[in-house]
Amino acid sequence: MRKPPVKRVKRAVHTRPAKEQPSPETRPCSKKSGEGDTQAPAKPTNGAAAKAETEIRRIILGNYSIAAWYASPYPDEYKQSQELHICQRCLKYMRHRQSLESHCCSDPFPRGRRVYEDASSTLYEVDGKTHTLYCQNLCLLSKLFLDQKTIYYDIGGFLFYILLSKQQPTMAPAGGAYLEGAVEYTFVGYFSKEKSSVERNNLACILVLPPFRGQSYGQLLIELSYELTKIEGTTGGPEQPLSSQGFHSYRSYWRRAVVQALLGISPQAEGYLLHSCGRKQQASKSSSEQRIFSLSRLARLTGIRIEDVLFTLEDLGLLECWFGKHIVCIADETIRQVIAQRRINPVMRMDPSGLQVDDELAESSSDAKSDESSADASSDDDG
């Protein structure tokens, strides 16, 4: 009698799981070009693999090798190498280092009109209509680090404010920093704004490159956007909606600007919009000095839109309703307690003396302020 065949059972082979590779979003940026590239990023799976293979993963900009965070609509032929070499002077992109080394850039750098300068940084205003190609290259570069940026080519209606760091001169790499006398300029980031915004936006897009984050450059850009708004004699704010990170950055600035104005230490606070008030005390009397503000006056003092001022005062618990009007009438000691409890740093990153204003802009700003002063009574009723 034949024995039935024996069924062989295959044993499962357990292998050690491969060590997870860091994604391009989390990989650190190396300061020297070429460093930190020994470990390849994790490859995406399924249908995204083919697309990821044709996206740019890293850029070489000056002395920095920076991992890209998002896809950017560069021409397809430049995505094959997955690495771009970018000239700091004109932001032109190239596939090979040899191309960058042979790139003889004669474009002016820094370009545009200088509007701010301090000991470590400088800001230049560049018109998107005048420097079209440069601003298009800037938008393509910024899309590598911004998820929601959508405008790349229709940039004639925007102004771009380019932030450069100033350092001691070193040997400049190919396509690297520009030397002017004893100063070396390095591209750090920028913000842009519409030339004419119906919604009174003073900032449309903001970027600080990853190697320069955590050094208060983002705070400096936000402060400068509002200082330019105050110089123009208007109020404004960022384009909505804000990301979570953007909201926290702006809330931090709004808190600093509002408490500075309430304490009378704003850079532009001397001599206007501040006066003592003799608020009637019914329950108790206080000897502390007080100042009174309507929302409209506080908005003009800080350059912040009224709705953002209102949000900040409510956020800090400093808003009161008096005889049917929203006003701020608080003792200085109360404001200092709020600063301590919320751990607000009232010191601004910007140096007010570093602002460089054109005579024409200063004259128009003065006219706007005089017009607003004559209309104070009516605006107080609205505030």
Give the number of other Cβ atoms within 10 Å of residue 356's Cβ: 12
Helices 295-302 and 244-263, interaxial angle, to 10°? Answer: 110
- Return the beta strands (E) in the chain as ranges: 58-61, 64-67, 83-86, 93-94, 113-117, 121-127, 158-167, 178-180, 183-194, 201-203, 205-208, 237-238, 290-294, 320-322, 325-331
CB 148 within 8 A of CB 160: no
Single out the residue of 174, 130, 128, 172 nearest to residue 151, CA to CA. Answer: 128
Which of 265, 208, 198 has its CA nearest to residue 234? 198
CA-to-CA distance for 251 and 256, rounded, in angstroms?
A: 9
Closest CA to 121 of 219, 249, 245: 219
CA distance 311 to 238: 14
Q: Please, where are the H alpha helices in 274-321?
A: 295-302, 306-316
C-beta separation of 79 from 143 below 8 A: no
Cα distance between residue 184 and residue 169, in whole Å: 5
Task: Tell me whether residue 239 is one of the annotated catalytic residues.
Answer: yes
**What strands lie across the sheet with 58-61, from one edge to the other?**
64-67, 58-61, 83-86, 93-94
Residue in 55, 125, 194, 239 annotated catalytic? 239
SS3 77: helix
Strand duo 205-208 + 183-194: pairing: antiparallel
Residues serving a catalytic function are 239
